[in-house]
């Protein structure tokens, strides 16, 4: 059995709570299955891709205006236009930063399915990201939270998120 998770199972990223928790849950399920199914000779692997958005058509960039227009009145009152623009620029930068070559993901899946001894996990990220995510799990939560707040998105989020309400 092969499950496809994500590096987002490792850490919390702004605006990614639902995605991250689903990936953590998937990995816990795969870990349980790996132990439970071992006595039947069933092998379970988890493929953990980094950002491969440019190698697929999964991620689509949208203009801030298009995102804003899709928000209902209640959400427009909660989120300022400035925040939506900031979040959209952050998302667009992530879309543009991903790898264009998805072959490494396919190769990992193929290896997991065909190998006599597949790996339990296939972390597919750059060397720097692999080092970072491997180290991250051993650090105290307070430190990992502090590291995650270094993003430019975090720095300006509070000031822009409720700007519309503060102006009223």
Q: How many domains does the chain have?
A: 2
**Percent of the chain whose predicted confidence (pLDDT) is above 90:** 35
Residue 65 within any structural domain of the chain: yes
pTM for the model: 0.79
How confident is the model over 80-134, as pLDDT tens digits? Answer: 888 888 888 888 887 777 788 889 999 999 999 999 999 999 999 888 888 888 8
- Please give the angle made by the CA atoms of 144, 47 and 13, to the nearest 5 degrees: 30
Domain assignment of residue 17, given as a range:
1-52+100-137
pLDDT value at residue 16: 81
Q: 24 with 46, same domain?
A: yes
pLDDT value at residue 162: 61
Q: 2 with 33, same domain?
A: yes
Top mean-pLDDT range of 7-16, 37-46, 159-168: 37-46
pLDDT value at residue 48: 94
Q: 84 with 105, same domain?
A: no
Query: Among residues 19, 83, 91, 120, which one is catalytic?
Result: 19
Q: Where are the alpha helices (DSSP H) in the chain?
A: 17-37, 64-70, 73-78, 81-97, 103-114, 127-136, 141-148, 152-161, 163-167
Top mean-pLDDT range of 8-17, 101-110, 124-133, 144-153: 101-110
Mean pLDDT (the chain) is 85
41's torsion region: left (phi>0), alpha (psi -120 to 50) or beta? Answer: left
Q: 45 with 128, same domain?
A: yes
- 148 pLDDT exceeds 80? no
Residue 132 within any structural domain of the chain: yes
Q: 35 with 75, same domain?
A: no
Q: 2 with 32, same domain?
A: yes
Average of per-residue pLDDT across 20-24: 92
Check: CB of residue 100 under 8 Å from CB of residue 54.
yes
Average of per-residue pLDDT across 33-58: 91
Cα distance between residue 6 and residue 48, in whole Å: 4
Q: 115 with 47, same domain?
A: yes
Average of per-residue pLDDT across 34-59: 90
The answer to whether 162 is a known catalytic residue is no
Residue 64 within any structural domain of the chain: yes
Average of per-residue pLDDT across 134-161: 78
Q: Tell me, what CATH number does 30's domain have?
A: 3.40.50.720
Q: 89 with 157, same domain?
A: yes
Query: How far out from the chain centre does Cα 51 lie?
Result: 8
Residue 74 within any structural domain of the chain: yes
Q: 124 with 107, same domain?
A: yes
Residue 88 within any structural domain of the chain: yes
- Is the torsion defined by CA of 84, 86, 87, 89 positive or negative? positive
Residue 144 within any structural domain of the chain: no
């Amino acid at each position: 059995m092969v499950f496809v998770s994500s590096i987002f199972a490792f850490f919390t990223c702004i605006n990614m709570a639902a995605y991250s928790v689903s990936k953590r849950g998937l990995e816990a399920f795969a870990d349980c299955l790996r132990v439970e199914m071992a006595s039947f000779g069933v092998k379970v692997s988890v493929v953990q891709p980094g950002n491969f958005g440019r190698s697929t058509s999964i991620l689509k960039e949208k203009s801030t205006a298009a995102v804003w227009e899709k928000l209902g009145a209640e959400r427009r009152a909660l989120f300022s236009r400035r925040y939506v623009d900031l979040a959209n620029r952050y998302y667009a930068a992530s879309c543009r930063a991903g790898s264009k070559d998805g072959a490494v993901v396919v190769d990992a899946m193929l290896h997991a399915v065909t190998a006599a001894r597949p790996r339990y996990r296939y972390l597919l990220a750059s060397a720097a990201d692999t080092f970072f995510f491997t180290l991250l799990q051993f650090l105290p939560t307070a430190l990992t939270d502090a590291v995650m707040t270094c993003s430019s998105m975090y720095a300006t989020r509070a000031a822009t998120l409720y700007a519309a309400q503060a102006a009223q």
